[in-house]
Amino acid sequence: MLSIRPLPRRKRALWGAALVALLGNGPVAAPVQMNLAQADALAAQALAVRQPSLAYDLSKGLLQADPKNPRAHYYQAMALAQAKAYGPAERKAALAYWHSNTEEQRFESANLAAQLAFADARLTGSQFWLRRAVDHAPDEVARARTVSAFKNVRARNPLRFDLRFSATPSDNVNNGASSPLNVIDGVPVVGTLSPSAQALSGVITTVKAALSYRLAQGEGRETRLRARVNTRRIKITDSVPGLSGSDLSSTTAELGVSQYLRGGRETVTWKFDVDGGRVWYGGDPLYDFARLGVQRYQRLGKRVLLSFGVNAEEQQDEANRGADATVLGGFAALGLDLSGGGRLGFQLQYRDTDSNGINRSSQQWTGVASYQMGRAIGPARMEFSLGASTLDFNHYSVGFITVPGGRKDESIFGGVTATFEDWGYMGFVPTVSVTTEKSDSNISRFDVAETSLTLGIRSEF
């Protein structure tokens, strides 16, 4: 055990005498012979009475005997901390962690390293060590206390980052049609779809990275600079002439500023966003965008959260200058915390796209209901979702054929996500999702069915 505790009174008197012998009463101290166990105990007592120089010297002797002695590294970290040399102290605490022999030693060393990084104003480093400490917490109380400390440090840290990764085997990576025939309701012409327009199997790999930095903070307000990069890479397992996964892959990069305004008792939060960026598809620029948005989050009692928002986006098409678009959107959501620890959620979304480009103007409504269980089933905490969507194009053409009444797609979708909280590492936990979607359209090219399995990693806190 690495923590420093006061010795019993009798032993304290004995080691006090040893300290006097070591420190001496005059310019020359009397030499003292001791074994390793005695040197270890005396170093701990030297720290308890705030004699860091002596503790450090005694620890050097312990390290000469065993360079991987975790207690000796821990003592040196404590000694340097008492001398306010926080940077070197953290490095010693790290050595204590890496050489530790028990979970308790690792927990205490990681916590010490986190405290030293915090004292040295390196908050991101403190968060790193607190995540390590979570893995070695001896019980749920210690774990909850460490998670709470992590959240407190994160709240103080102006820098925030989020990284998510997922791999999704799917039977329809290209949103292809279920049938090789292209039938348009009300048009007595039947076409044949190319292989690339039909459903193709493969794997979708997604990486999402987000970074933000707090520019200013005051009473009830905060301003953050944000940067995000989302990449979606596709590998096709079906062989299709003239088509590769890179032709279907995409990347989105954006930069923006967010302003948060919090009301009394923080029950109401307003969020204002200004963003701009570019989307690439198939390796080529697809469109640039600029977006404004406002959202409101309000607590209705202790268990109900109401949120809603609107946004407006201008898109400048890089592939076809005549296809610029204006996109207006909005959402409303209600979240209910259940007494057993579960959660119900409902969300309604609307999106309107206005453009002079062919087949670009549309209106879409989407509704989603979700339920997160309060208790785990075996090793997994389960979440279920079910939704429906309607997509309307008032005017739509397929080649030279004008579709009567435009195009209309109706979709239903659902999913199950299992989160394995007991299998986490540094607060990152694995997730497995199974989703399915089916769309019916008056144009058979858009009769789409897809089932996918997603393996992902996300932060638990």
Type and span of the H or E element at 435: strand 428-441
Q: Tell the burial category of 24 from Cβ atoms under 10 Å away from its Cβ (0-12, 13-18, 19+).
A: exposed
In degrees, to the nearest 5, what angle opens at C-alpha 292 toward C-alphas 226 and 395? Answer: 125
Contact 297, 277 (CB under 8 A): no
Residues 6+ away with beta carbon under 8 Å from 89 = 76, 77, 78, 79, 80, 81, 116
Question: Encoding tokens for residue 309?
Answer: 């928002």
| H-helix segments, 245-287 | none
Residues 6+ apart with CB under 8 A from 432: 380, 417, 418, 420, 453, 454, 455, 456
Instruction: Please identify which residue in the block is written with the tokens 């399995």.
Output: 453
pLDDT tens profile 37-81 = 888 999 999 999 999 999 999 999 899 999 999 999 999 999 999
Do residues 329 and 351 touch, judged by C-beta distance below 8 A? Answer: yes
Residue type, 58: L
Query: Which amino acid appears at position 435 of this protein?
Result: T
Q: Which residues of 309-325 are buried (b: 16+ CB within 10 A; e: fewer)?
A: bebebebebbeeeebbb
Per-residue confidence (pLDDT) for residue 17, from 0 to 100 = 42
**Positions in the chain whose pLDDT score sits under 50:** 1-18, 20-21, 24-30
CA quadruple 37, 42, 45, 47: dihedral, nearest 10: -110
Query: Which residues, 6+ apart, have CB-to-CB distance to 294 below 8 Å?
Result: 270, 271, 272, 273, 309, 310, 311
Q: Whose CA is closest to 87, among 125, 60, 55, 51?
A: 125
Contact 460, 424 (CB under 8 A): yes
From CA 19, how far away is CA 22, in angstroms rounded? 5
Question: Does the CA dihedral 25-28-34-36 come out positive or negative?
Answer: positive
Q: Rounded distance, CA 296 to CA 268, Å?
A: 7
* Token pair recorded at residue 139: 């019980």
The predicted pLDDT at position 32 comes to 59
Is the dihedral angle over the CA atoms 282, 287, 290, 292 positive or is it negative?
negative
Task: Burial-class residue 104 by CB neighbours within 10 Å (0-12, 13-18, 19+).
Answer: middle
Nearest of 311, 345, 341, 317 to residue 329 by alpha carbon: 311
Domain boundaries, the chain: 9-155, 160-459
Distances 39 to 9, 192, 210 between C-alpha atoms, Å: 18, 85, 49
Of 187, 194, 176, nearest to 446 by C-alpha is 176
Cα angle, residue 452 at apex, residues 448 and 457 outer, rounded to 5° = 140
Nearest to 426 by CA among 399, 461, 390: 461
pTM of the model: 0.84
Q: What amino acid occupies position 245?
A: G
Question: What pLDDT was estimated at residue 55?
Answer: 94
Architecture of domain 9-155: Alpha Horseshoe (1.25)
Residue 340 confidence (pLDDT): 85
Does domain 160-459 fall under CATH 3.40.50.2300? My reply is no
Q: Do 193 and 181 meet the contact criterion of CB atoms below 8 Å apart?
A: yes
CA distance to 106, 159, 223, per residue, from 124 (Å): 19, 8, 19
